[in-house]
Amino acid sequence: MGQATRTSKLLLDLGKREEGGANPGKRASLEATADVLNQARAFYLDFFLAHAQKLTERVSYYSEKHLEMRTRALSPNELLTWAESHTVATRDHPHPWEGWNFSEGFPGMPFAYRRAAIKDAIGKARSYLSNLARWKKSGKKAGEPGVPGAGNHPTLYEGTVELDLESRGKEHARFVRLKVYTGTSWQWCNYPIKHSRYFQQRLTDPAWEKQSPKLVVRKNEASLHFCQTQEVKAQKIVESKQDPDLVTVAVDLNVKMLAVITVRQRGTIRETIFVRDQGLDQARYRHLKCIAKKQRQSGKPVKGEQSNQQLWRHVRRMNEHAAHGVARRIANVCAKYPGCVLVFERLRKIRRAAGSKSRRMNRKQANQLRGKINQDAREKAYALGVVTVETNPHGTSQYCSRCGARGERFSNLNGTPITLKWGKLFRCPVCHYEAQADFNASSNVHHSFYGEYHWQPRLKRSG
């Protein structure tokens, strides 16, 4: 049993006023809200670090499962109640502790926001304390964990957000109601949203459980991030490997041919899908060449400042878009074969690329893209109950996938085959098998998974 997660983003419309965007005052309120919540979190972080013994306190309880008395740490909810009773003035507890009066410092803050801040602070403080204890135990001099910062995207619990996606006579919802801090008081405000029926479908999908959204305020945009989770039942690899009818989906990731997906069952390849990059590599190279040129012309970079922000953002977005697309195609193949196993090569350590600056940057981006595809595909497949394995990548592109002998790569230039290290085609000198090199590599990933041919487990040397 495991849990798959995904995030659905709802953009708030902060565009031009005459085009339906939120007015500048409302935008300032969003920033003020994030600010004041950061302060509240800092307050409780200090509070918990000042009372660290409470976080590690053990209480005894009677375990129904084990039928005996046991001890456990305080739960976050108990800690929350304890913290509130000592920092917030109420009728039952009119006098909070000296110097820790939250109600005075943050008058009128809705309790839902306060609780979100406390829960967040508990998590941060606990992880810091356990890291610190581990570091002290290890006896190392370097690497002392630092005190955590209080910054985070605030979570909007119920009572601070109202989002009604069901249409009431109208086409679809156009506003979300948020409780925000205007600088002096807490008020409900309507924010226009960029909403589509795809988002609605995604959010109201009954298979996924919706959690409280997070408010993410960035320089040019603000959005609500809904985390969704799903319980997934998946078989262990060791168990599914026993099944003779097991379907394996192997993926070979490359630069120009982004992915070659092969499906194998009972030793034969049943399906192959080639995913090309549609000119992404070249387009990215052109942009990076432009960046390199600008950097060269503008001389020494200013420390702490990023240059060519728009171009970099564009490159990053192209990469992310491509990664999601490829990962979706991989997941769709997995969906066709229920109970299959997704197999990747372990990503190799990349040697520093040679060539001009733009070439090196492009190689770096291409390698990051491979990592992203791997990660995205893994997550999307897991939501379908498909587990991913990584196999030994040694020699997948050098050995013959039919007989296992060592072969060579070549390219056809003007009709004559020329042996090249990075040739597009593969040839086996033993069985005279010829194939597209990436397809050969992809088939070898299956061999690597089953430990066949070159990837046979080595016999232990005796004596």
Binding residues for Zn ion (CB under 5 A): 400, 402-403, 405, 428, 430-431, 433
3-state secondary structure of 63: strand
- CB of 291 or CB of 428, closer to Zn ion: 428
Nearest to 48, CA basis, from 113, 128, 106: 128
Give the Cα separation of 434 and 439 in Å (integer): 11
- CB of 39 or CB of 456, closer to Zn ion: 456
- CB of 337 or CB of 433, closer to Zn ion: 433
| Least distance (Å) between residue 391 CB and Zn ion | 20
- CB of 390 or CB of 434, closer to Zn ion: 434
| Least distance (Å) between residue 255 CB and Zn ion | 25
Residue 38 has φ and ψ, to the nearest 5°, of -65, -40
Strand partners for 269: 264
| Least distance (Å) between residue 433 CB and Zn ion | 5
| Least distance (Å) between residue 412 CB and Zn ion | 19
- CB of 335 or CB of 405, closer to Zn ion: 405
| Least distance (Å) between residue 350 CB and Zn ion | 29
- CB of 82 or CB of 433, closer to Zn ion: 433
3-state secondary structure of 417: strand
- CB of 34 or CB of 428, closer to Zn ion: 428
| Least distance (Å) between residue 403 CB and Zn ion | 3
Give the Cα separation of 363 and 368 in Å (integer): 9
b/e for 227-246, b at 16 or more Cβ within 10 A?
A: bbebeeebbeeeebeeeeeb
| Least distance (Å) between residue 320 CB and Zn ion | 39
Laid out side by side, the sheet with 425-427 consists of 416-419, 408-413, 425-427, 434-436
Q: What are the tokens at 218?
A: 């960035």
The secondary element (H helix, E strand) that includes residue 30 is helix 24-50
3-state secondary structure of 160: coil
| Least distance (Å) between residue 338 CB and Zn ion | 33
- CB of 96 or CB of 407, closer to Zn ion: 407
Give the Cα separation of 139 and 135 in Å (integer): 7
The secondary element (H helix, E strand) that includes residue 193 is strand 186-194
Place of tokens 């993410």: 216
Q: Find out whether 298 and 291 touch, Cβ atoms under 8 Å.
A: no
